[in-house]
Structure 1
């Protein structure tokens, strides 16, 4: 492991020092005025953009379409960290490579912020993840309350990096949190009135959302989108769906769509798309995707 990261560091330094990347390149005045922020994946990009707006220039490490749980950075992925002022990662084991990446960036002025800091973490099942992923469910951004925590931590980092614009970042943060709270309040009342509380997903990514609204999820794959169910587990899922009158199986493109289709057919349910907001999806904003998720889950509970 040490050897691998040493090679990564040397490669990174070579890429950064390449003449084409020199600081002598022309830079516009507009680019100079923006705060360089690097984030790990899409939801965090949305949060930084909401707080920083036109004061920030954002780069994303994990490419759209790649399963974040499987991502391992290469030297070229980390070049942005060598010049960024702020680096935002979600934490709770989502990015197990982050500490070594920060070291490899060799950027003494980098402000690294774990966006989930201060959240009440939900433990993953004992058989899931192990040392590879960590002990917690990392999907905090799929909770509106978790999103508020991440947005607040991002605000603090931007203020630290750019104190002259403190009032600007605080106003944007408050405005965005008001939108998160409005959406939460709308669906909290709806879910409270629903008789059914259980739904089924392809990937067990919604425990924090369930905690927000008093719901229960069951899933085809585990917290880390690994391991299709055995025949016995699939039988148990079928029984669960029938017992809880599940009318929709929520699936994502990168998490067992075939098994979700099989399960839906077995129990007479439909398959609905649900967003995990790890990549850019359908050119929708975080709030639009969360609204879509909550609407579909709610409709499935009252059918």
Structure 2
């Protein structure tokens, strides 16, 4: 998953914007939202990210400084789709009178999978929405609307920045589409089911060792099934992410 994020981040690049007289403090839950919020807000915003680099956003434990950041924020942005269950603890700390944005609001979500540890309830939805470039562009639109709500006098500035990011994500989609749709091998094995949106968009078949939680332990029957699938489809690579 981090490798795909790296491709998206590299494709987006960084664009300079005029320095605003006063920056808006924003809080986002994790890195992809940081990238999108900073690109749309430019130098008119100051972004604080709750989940630090290398930490797992699924089961993050909020810190005291996170509460402080939320108290002073004008806007809070979270992924939604079940990625941040710990966020419920922080809802009373959300900015009073500010704007709270669910970045995946209104998007067609992939249903959760039930492969995982015995007795573990299946996730309702796959939260890894940003791994589909076209859905990532719609997340950018949601962030743009949130910024326009909290800072309407700079609406055109946010709209122009968002348009640039969305155009770059659509171009990235074009590159992915031209490459992935021509692959003869449509099946791929991953350590956990993080790539459902990528698979749905480009006609691939994700075979996950475990479910949506990176910490879930696969059942022995699932491992045996995947060994047979790998042999049947001649798969000799397992995609693994470090978190």
**1:112-167 deviation per Cα after TM superposition (whole angstroms, max 9, x unaligned):** 00000011111112576999885111111111122111100000011111111111
Partner residue of 1:247 out of 229, 236, 242:
236
The aligned residue for residue 145 of structure 1 is: 134
Pairing 1:31-42 to 2, within 5 Å after superposition: 33-42=22-31
Q: Contact between 2:79 and 2:103, CA under 8 Å: does it hold in 1?
A: yes
Partner residue of 1:182 out of 158, 171, 181:
171
Partner residue of 1:115 out of 100, 103, 116:
103
Distance, in Å, in 1 between the alignment partners of 2:221 and 2:69 is 46
Runs of 4+ in 1 over 3 A off after TM superposition: 126-134
Query: What are structure 2's unaligned runs of at least 5 residues?
Result: 1-18
Structure (1/2) with the larger helix percentage: 1
- Superposed displacement of residue 205, structure 1: 0.3
Structure with more contact order per residue of length (Cα contacts < 8 Å, sep ≥ 6): 2
Q: Contact between 1:93 and 1:133, CA under 8 Å: does it hold in 2?
A: no
Q: Contact between 2:59 and 2:85, CA under 8 Å: does it hold in 1?
A: no
The aligned residue for residue 270 of structure 1 is: none
Normalising by structure 2, report the TM-score: 0.85
Distance, in Å, in 1 between the alignment partners of 2:227 and 2:181 is 26
Pairing 1:253-264 to 2, within 5 Å after superposition: 253-254=242-243
> Is structure 2 residue 80 aligned with structure 1 residue 91?
yes
Pairing 1:129-208 to 2, within 5 Å after superposition: 134-208=123-197
Q: Contact between 1:203 and 1:221, CA under 8 Å: does it hold in 2?
A: yes
Q: Contact between 1:96 and 1:133, CA under 8 Å: does it hold in 2?
A: no
Q: Contact between 1:202 and 1:221, CA under 8 Å: does it hold in 2?
A: yes
Task: Tell me the secondary structure at the aligned position of residue 246 of structure 1.
Answer: coil
Pairing 1:213-292 to 2, within 5 Å after superposition: 213-254=202-243
Distance, in Å, in 1 between the alignment partners of 2:148 and 2:165 is 16
RMSD: 2.2
Distance, in Å, in 2 between the alignment partners of 1:191 and 1:99 is 38
Distance, in Å, in 2 between the alignment partners of 1:50 and 1:74 is 26
Normalising by structure 1, report the TM-score: 0.69
Task: Tell me the secondary structure at the aligned position of residue 169 of structure 2.
Answer: helix
Q: Which has the larger radius of gyration?
A: 1
